[in-house]
Amino acid sequence: MINKVVGSAEQAVKDIPNGATLVVGGFGLCGIPENLIHALVKRGVQNLTCVSNNAGVDDWGLGLLLRTRQIRKMVSSYVGENAEFERQFLAGELEVEFVPQGTLAERMRAGGAGIPAFFTPAGFGTVVAEGKETREFDGRNYVMERGIVGDFSLVAAWRGDRLGNLMYRKAARNFNPMAATAGKVCIAEVEELVEPGELEPDCVHTPGIFVHRLIVAPRQKRIEQRTVRKA
């Protein structure tokens, strides 16, 4: 019987080595694998390369790994909410590769689909294109971008079954589906575990064939920016 559920976040990440490349799902603080990140902080794994839309905030998400200096390089599209990220970057302590947001999503998707590279118009004529092959198609200039394949991918889903099938809820279905396929080993955390067959096939966003192990864990779902109307 296939059962990809493991007992804890610590057990799920126990084989992630120093120097690993992690593809991490989430958008801001929405849909991030917070329990798996906490487990990595506890393990003290060093020199990580993290590919993620964002770098969390100072006290949550990937910001926790930045605070403990466990990340060597960030590949991201938006990092504006993390003061520690800014400090390390400006001090030359953190290697950073900025990627246009749509390009980052497609690089993850391409990596998971076995596509080594693709051409996109985003970034042509800017520093994003420096050192990269460019080509003209139908009178428009494009930049070649490489697909991303990580050693591990870490994602967070709403519901899942022991076979690894995952369903994301609303806005948490952001970078998670692409991130899940872009890692050689995919580790997922889910809020609810259901029996195989309970998930409607049309509602499975990540098929279990892409997922290698998962944990069931509660999530805090913190709000990154709270905007309220003045009285």
Task: Please list the rounded mean pLDDT of every run of 10 residues in the chain (231 residues).
Answer: 96 98 95 97 97 93 96 94 92 96 97 98 95 98 98 98 97 96 98 96 97 94 81 72
The pTM (predicted TM-score) of the whole model is 0.94
The upper half-sphere exposure of residue 39, i.e. CA atoms within 13 Å in the direction of its Cβ, equals: 20
Give me the number of domains the chain comprises.
1
What is the structure's pLDDT at 231? 72
- Asked whether residue 57 is assigned to any structural domain, the reply reads yes
231 domain residue, yes or no? no
The whole-number pLDDT of residue 223 equals 79
Domain contains 126: no
Write the CATH number for 49: 3.40.1080.10
Residue 153 within a domain: yes
> Is residue 45 in a domain?
yes
Asked if 45 and 14 touch (Cβ cutoff 8 Å), the reply is no
Residue 142 in any domain: the answer is no
What pLDDT score was predicted for residue 221?
79
How many whole angstroms separate alpha carbon 98 and alpha carbon 183? Answer: 20
Q: Tell me whether residue 132 is in a domain.
A: no
Structural domain of 95: 18-118+147-216
Residue 13 lies in a domain: no
Q: What integer pLDDT is reported at residue 119 of this predicted model? A: 98
- Which neighbouring-strand residues pair with 154? 24, 187
Q: Are strands 48-51 and 71-76 parallel, antiparallel or unpaired?
A: parallel
